[in-house]
Amino acid sequence: MHMRNFFLTAGAAAALLGAAACNNDSLTSLNNNPNAPVAVPPPTLFTTAARLSAQRWIGNGYDLRGTEWVAQHLAEVQYPDEDDYKRLQASSTTGWFDAPYYQELEDLNKVIGFAQVAKDPGSYAPALVLRTWDYDFLTDTFGDVPYSDAQKGDSSDAALAPKYDAQKDIYADFFKTLTDASTALTSASNSLHAADPIYGGSTAKWQKFANSLHARLAMRVVNVDPAQADAELRAAFTAPGGVFTSNADNATLPWPGDGVYNNPWSGNFQGRDDHRMSQTLMNIMLASSDPRVPIYAQPTVADSTGKTYAGMPNGLTQATASVYFNTASRPGNIFYPGKTAYGTFSSAGLAQPSYFLTYAEVAFIQAEAAERGLGGLTPAQAPGFYNAAITASLNQWGVTSATTIADFLAQPDIAYKGGTPGLIQIATQKWIALYSDGGQAWAEWRRTCQPATLIPGPDAIINTVPRRFEYSNTEYSVNEANVKAAVQAMGGADVFTTRMWWDTNPTAAPTYPGPSCGTRP
Amino acid sequence: MRPTHPQRLLGVAGVLLAVAPAIVLAQQPTTIAGRVTTEAGTPIQGASVSIAAIGAGTYSQADGRYSFVVPATRSNGQQATVAARRIGFQPRAVTITLSGGTITQDFSLTAAPTQLNEVVVTALGQSRQKSQVGTAVQQINADELTNTKGQSVVQQLEGKVSGVQITASGTPGGSNMITIRGSNSISGDNTPLYVVDGIPILKANESAAGKGASSNGGFDFGSAINDLNPDDIETLTVLKGPNAAALYGSRAANGAILITTKRGRNSGGRVRTELNTFYTFANPAILPTYQNQYGQGAGGQFAYVNGAGDGVNDGADQSWGPKLDGRTTGCVFIPKTTTYDTSKPCTQFTAITGGPWVAHPNNVADFFQTGHTASATLAVSGGTDKANARLSVGSDNSSSFIPGTYLTKSNASLAGDLQVNDRMSATATVNYIRNAGRNRPGQGYSNSILESFVWFGRQVDMSALKDGWQKSATSNNGPDGREFNWNYNFHNNPFFLMYGNPENDTRDRLIGTVASTYKITDWLNLTGRVGSDLYRYGITQDFSSADITGSGANQNYAGAFGLVNDYNNETNSEALLTANKQVSRFMLNGTFGGNIRQQHRDIATVSTNAILAPGIYNVANSAIAPSNFQQTYRQQVNSVYGSASYTFDGWWTVEGTARNDWSSTLPKGQNSYFYPSVNTSVVLTDAVPALRNRVLSYLKLRASVARVGNDASPYQLITTYEGNSNKFKGQPQYTLGDVLANADLKPEITQSGEFGAEMSFFNGRANVDASYYDKATRNQIFNVTVSPASGFRQKSINSGEITNKGFEALLSVIPVQLSNGLQWTSTFNYSRNQSMVAKLAPGVQTIVLGGVWYVNLEARQGYPYGVLYGNAYARDKATGLIYTDGGLTVAGSRKVLGNIQPRWLGGWSNQVQYKNFTVNALLDMHVGGSLWSVTNWFGDYAGVLKSSLQGRQEEWNKPGVVINGIDINTCPSYDDAIASGACPGGQKNTTNITAEEYYQNIFPVNEGYIYNDTYVKLRELRIGYDLPQRWAERAHASALNIAITGRNLHTWTNVPNVDPEIAYSTDNGTQGQEYGSIPNARTWGISVRVTP
């Protein structure tokens, strides 16, 4: 063996190894992810997005640990930092801004994209409606938010720091989107089926949801642009398919209650005992012997007869709040999961549905539109819609006895008064009917300032009820120029007191009680 | 009896090698015998005397005598080189003629504490003269490694290698983090490659954080490297960084640890026995110092009703209650006063109607027990010049100092070598390991033993908890269905924690290698080698529904469980040509080879928080749909590599290496990377012999530059949709991943230069091996946060740069060497690494690596890697004093509070030998760096630590605390004071507050609990005695030794209450953070060692 043999052997080995090494195709295909696909049937994304939407805005943190205190349906009896608005500052609320964008909104965006290419309005129109429902919570919570430029991180423009859109423009696009979706649904066929946990893919129901959501958003802008409100209400009421006409039309997420996917309130109450009824809500309901009281609330633990229902003040200190531990009512048994760390309750709660939008709310919108002569309705129609709304709410929460309902409607405080007193009744009853939807209850309160008894608690860190939450900390670190431009556009400071675009003319509301609105004396 | 042993052994070897070797016994052998002594004439025991060329040899005995036989077939009059080697001495070789009969050959060895001329193992398992190596390597031999009994091979390296930093999780059987010359990668792997007998093995770190636990802690299942039995290791060589490891290419950035296992030798057909046994006792090395003056409660009051809030502060898990003075009444105040109401009895969980209110000073210490470990490795080996084998069986059984925790490890290893003919040889090794754990203790914040003593009532009687953990809570008015405890709001009874939520895990592992070498010519060999490492790891964790913290278990059902099934495999197949040829005055070495590395991992988990029938932790017993998780990872790297070196006249060596890797994890067309290196070494004292004098006897300089990589992990190139095993009403659910993948991913690239010198003085009485290095890692792979409105949370990028510069030195001296045999050998190693995050990405100032309780561990641009970033006190700029508000401290802004990089690390090892006695002692030093201690922070907050007595020396509210600070309310502007520290005319604080108010208000500020993490540990102590030689002979061995050993016997540190060495987990993001961490074990034991 000589040097030549060495080179021959080396050369042969090199050729062999080189052949293996440079076989790029098989090497590269080894990196095809066997765990997760690069394409999936769009309806599977819709299912995730619908569930996440409900968990995000009408159940978990944003609702149960945020807006329920602000809207004062509930009050916090232990560690009342949220109820004092301390833990509603940016460090705590950042996730409410961030997560929707890269979770359900991103998934809905994919559904819309795929279904539009496939010319399948049965999928893209429901996704557009649900996306609008989600974005409404986002913009009504923060103000101007990324919208037209959002969800484009993986598109060709790779927008990793999207600009913010003015709320006014976002609302304009909401109306257009809902009109388009409603129109598209007229000739759509069901393509979501069981992947749609809200309506099972029924295009007729989605069309009603589109039009009803259109009405909700139209009424929201009434203080700043009554003409737009009028036109959009009219568009909603007269659109093909119409709006909700009964509780059977309600957009709900019926939770399976299977131990994995439970009603978010009952899931939370399994381990935590922080929540009591707010006296702001309970005082109003108790004054009118509202038959929903034993459903919304439980009797206090302190009263062994089981007949006492009571609320507690919002915004206390740990020491002053803990006094109410046994003397204020817990939320109703229907939201409790059976056995908890601190006691055993009725076990229906795990499957209690969450409500995206109800017929009761639609009827309240119609009552208000009628009273104000908007959307083609007349004041004479107001009492009918008002009674229908309350009846629908009572039915929705399980009060079905005709006598009970009639008795309640006949009460002096409840019987419809018409005029501005009527509008106050509509606003108050709508706020009560929105129980368990803190975000919408808060938005409606900001628009109407009813009930006027809603003011910050004694230990809240500011003297007025927040008109918005602060922008995400993440945005300040990675999208600074755009978030700062949005803050400037909204008035210069990223604070609780900045008003929504639709909230900038509060005195236009007939129900406006004066500058004391939402202010602690 | 005697002749059958080698036959059996060789039979085993034959099966192993699938070749039955012909055993040819000598008829006219040559016997070589003599004595090995020091220059002073003292006998040297354990020196190896051998003829390497024919694989014959033995070891010297206590009197220095040795004798071995060369078979007649080999004794045909040829010349042979006999070499004598002993650790601590320069080897010596003589040439003799093998012609039958008896040859007497004595050796007199010169002391040399480090083997500057020894043979070391370098990359690809090549043996090289250390004098010809141009990079930094340090070799540790078996004796050094196994002086004492640590939990693992990595722990047994602690303090012994310069440039190496080891962070241990204190958990019995827990993981280790080992870094060489600092961390190179922001979010990737920073631990070295492990290579056993030339084949890389798996190194998964099953740390608490790595096993899916959050920063709230979890269970630590140890590191895969710890499966190796230290007693099977012959040498362990540390390739310190990229330069020495360059031939490993895309795995070389963090250096490599090469392990050579023990093999059989030519024993002339005789069986050799080897035994290493330990029996050790373990106790926690450091426990917090608790106060024993105040019991559970708040505001000086406590009365137990149901332990859940119905009594006075009986839900509290803190010790701000009444003084523990033995009172039986008066533990609560008369309403609206602070006078104790002596008409009311003092009630507590063991005395719900009243009883004495007394301290149990040792309640925490009483929880722990003395741990026991019995370990033994028994090996038999032997061979002829044609074949040899070694069979080893090891077992390691521990019951921890934490009650309920048991660990067992069993090893069986068989290694054989066969000289098939003159040209062909074959070798095979197979190693089976079974590593099992039961009830591993939790660390961190949830369900953690040490954390549960931070939130504690100091009056709690531990024996009541021990006796009663299986009782129902109703026996002291607690909630139905719960375990018996002192508190029903927050924590579990620690005994319930260990026994009531059973955990079991097993790792079955097989590491095997087969190789064959064909001698093409005298100077050219071709070696083919295949090695595979595979294990299956199974973990089951059950939770009782009686668990108070509710961790996992749904209250409506009978318990919860989770199981993990994890299969891991790495297979390497390689071919290597090696050439060694002397051409006039040049020695040429060349290697050329290729490797195919295939990695495969399958992990599946099943968990549910609700089971139906109690006690049946099986998926079929789930009360609700269980959650499932399954992932498969496959990865392949193809490589070709080679090296060429020449050595001129034995003193000047130049070597170049090159490797090209093709990786499956990188994008097509961009998956080929080239990693070159070049190094040179010059033995100046050989080149210029005039340099040698009475002082300087050896001087070698070396220098090297290298460029290596750090691979990407699989499936990072395309964003995928993630499924959810839990169907929503029967409907499948997918969601788009939140991280925007990077289709252009590149490997991380490290460029490194090093320079070193090796010197020997006074004929080897003192040696220095020192290195300076400078390296930079670019193209860091990490995820950068993007605006969530983009639809993604993060984007994977290649960016940034980390630099590490440092100096390391190994100094070894023999201060005392007397003719009466007394010898003291002392080795000091020193390392100093300066790390810097030079660049991140445009607009990115920091990457958060991890963090607990408001303190982040970050890679922050312009700072060393790993700063602790947290809440500081608000301070007055002019005076530096902190602000107070109403007498309480005030939180200021967040800032860098420290960094985890030590200023230097050191290890000082000493060995004193006299006659049959040998004493070894090792001090391990860690100087500088910062430690964030949550135990101290919460321990003061909760009033359990002795330090929280300040301000309540007289009574719960007396004398109180007056903070030396400035009352912020006397500043002209509160906001200015906070924002800029401006407080002209501010007045000193005079408000007296209670200790409870003081300590409970420090909560928002972390600054006071970041400590200078300097410590010195008496890491190892061994006092050994060599038994008479004739006993050894009877045991087929060369030596018998008994010893008393100890580890972690003492710690000198200023860090209070906790083991300063311990992090709560051992991942990049958990360093420098102590958090309910379990302290190291202090162990004492005895050892019996039989040397073959």
What is chain B's mean pLDDT, rounded?
88
Determine the pLDDT at residue B6: 45
More confident residue, B525 or B130: B525
Q: Which residues on adjacent β-strands are paired with residue B587?
A: B582, B647
Question: Considering only B483-492, B594-603, B802-811, which range has the smallest mean pLDDT?
Answer: B483-492
CB contact under 8 A, B728 and A197: yes
Confirm if B867 and B857 have CB atoms less than 8 A apart: yes
Question: Considering only A348-352, B78-82, B315-319, which range has the smallest mean pLDDT?
Answer: B78-82
**B721: chain A residues, CB-CB within 8 Å:** 36-40, 45
CB contact under 8 A, A256 and B554: no
**B611: chain A residues, CB-CB within 8 Å:** none
Task: Summarize the confidence of residues B747-751 as an average pLDDT.
Answer: 92
| B636, B718, B737 ranked by CB distance to A30: nearest | B636
Q: What tokens were used for A123?
A: 């999928």
Tell whether the torsion through CA atoms of B33, B36, B42 and B45 is positive or negative.
Answer: negative
| Identity of the residue numbered A343 | G
CB contact under 8 A, B787 and A146: yes
CB contact under 8 A, A17 and B575: yes
Say whether residue B788 is in contact with chain A using an 8 A CB cutoff. yes
Residue of A nearest to B545 (CA): A341
CB contact under 8 A, A44 and B734: yes
Say whether residue B726 is in contact with chain A using an 8 A CB cutoff. yes
Element holding A476 (H helix, E strand): helix A473-478
B11 contacts: CB under 8 Å, gap ≥ 6? none
| B526, B735, B795 ranked by CB distance to A103: nearest | B735
Determine the pLDDT at residue B1009: 96
Neighbours of B338 (CB within 10 A): 12
d(CA A442, CA A449): 10
Confirm if B260 and B376 have CB atoms less than 8 A apart: no
CB contact under 8 A, B790 and A152: yes
Neighbours of B862 (CB within 10 A): 13
**A28: chain B residues, CB-CB within 8 Å:** 664, 667-668, 671
Sheet hosting strand B930-933, strand order edge to edge = B1010-1012, B930-933, B1073-1074
Q: Is the per-residue pLDDT at B21 higher than 60?
A: no
Q: Is the per-residue pLDDT at B917 higher than 70?
A: yes
Q: What tokens were used for B504?
A: 């079991």
Q: What tokens were used for B241?
A: 């960084």
Q: Distance (Å) from the C-alpha of residue B860 to the closest C-alpha of chain A? A: 14
Say whether residue B787 is in contact with chain A using an 8 A CB cutoff. yes
Determine the pLDDT at residue B1055: 95
Q: Is the per-residue pLDDT at B424 higher than 70?
A: yes
Instruction: Choose the mutation target among B305, B640, B722, B733 for the interface with A, i.e. most A CBs under 10 Å.
Output: B733
Determine the pLDDT at residue A13: 57
Q: Is the per-residue pLDDT at B20 higher than 70?
A: no
Residue of B nearest to A163 (CA): B789
* B149 — pLDDT class (breaks 50, 70, 90): confident
Q: Which residues on adjacent β-strands are paired with residue B1053?
A: B1015
User: What is the number of alpha carbons within 13 Å of residue B211 lying toward its C-beta?
Assistant: 28
User: What is the number of alpha carbons within 13 Å of residue B23 lying toward its C-beta?
Assistant: 20
Say whether residue B721 is in contact with chain A using an 8 A CB cutoff. yes
Each residue's pLDDT expressed in tens, for chain A with a length of 521 residues? 454 554 555 555 555 555 555 556 789 899 999 999 999 999 999 999 999 999 999 988 999 999 999 999 999 998 788 999 988 988 889 999 999 999 999 999 999 999 999 999 999 999 999 999 999 999 999 999 999 999 999 987 777 899 999 999 999 999 999 999 999 999 999 999 999 999 999 999 999 999 999 999 999 999 999 999 999 999 999 999 999 999 999 999 999 998 899 999 998 998 788 899 999 999 999 999 999 999 999 999 888 888 999 999 999 987 788 889 889 999 999 999 888 777 788 877 899 999 999 999 999 999 999 999 999 999 999 999 999 999 999 999 999 999 999 999 999 999 999 999 999 999 999 999 999 999 999 999 999 999 999 999 999 989 999 999 999 999 998 899 999 999 999 998 999 999 999 999 999 999 999 999 999 98
Q: Which residues on adjacent β-strands are paired with residue B914?
A: B917
**A260: chain B residues, CB-CB within 8 Å:** 624-625, 627, 726
Q: What tokens were used for B459?
A: 């009056």
Instruction: Choose the mutation target among B790, B860, B894 for the interface with A, i.e. most A CBs under 10 Å.
Output: B790
| A37, A99, A145 ranked by CB distance to B721: nearest | A37
| A9, A258, A482 ranked by CB distance to B520: nearest | A9
User: Tens digit of pLDDT for each residue in B88-135?
Assistant: 677 788 888 888 888 899 998 876 654 456 788 888 888 888 888 999
Exposed / middle / buried, residue B584 (Cβ in 10 Å: 0-12, 13-18, 19+) = exposed
User: Tens digit of pLDDT for each residue in B702-730?
Assistant: 999 999 988 888 999 999 999 999 999 99
| B526, B665, B728 ranked by CB distance to A9: nearest | B526
**B668: chain A residues, CB-CB within 8 Å:** 24-25, 28
Determine the pLDDT at residue B271: 86
Neighbours of A211 (CB within 10 A): 26
d(CA A517, CA A86): 21
SS3 for A423?
helix
| A13, A40, A337 ranked by CB distance to B592: nearest | A13
Residues 471-500 of B with CB under 8 A from A: 479
Task: Summarize the confidence of residues B323-328 as an average pLDDT.
Answer: 95
Say whether residue B842 is in contact with chain A using an 8 A CB cutoff. no
CB contact under 8 A, B788 and A97: yes
Would strands B930-933 and B1073-1074 be described as parallel, antiparallel, or unpaired?
parallel
| B520, B594, B732 ranked by CB distance to A1: nearest | B520
d(CA A425, CA A432): 11
**B624: chain A residues, CB-CB within 8 Å:** 258-260
Confirm if A45 and A107 have CB atoms less than 8 A apart: yes
Say whether residue B1004 is in contact with chain A using an 8 A CB cutoff. no
* B3 — pLDDT class (breaks 50, 70, 90): very low
- Indicate the pTM of the whole model: 0.86
Element holding B127 (H helix, E strand): strand B126-129
Q: What tokens were used for B1024?
A: 């050994």
Say whether residue B786 is in contact with chain A using an 8 A CB cutoff. yes
User: Tens digit of pLDDT for each residue in B332-383?
Assistant: 999 889 999 999 999 999 999 999 999 999 999 999 999 999 999 999 999 8
CB contact under 8 A, A341 and B550: yes
Q: Can you tell me which residue has the tokens 């608000």?
A: B874
Determine the pLDDT at residue A344: 82
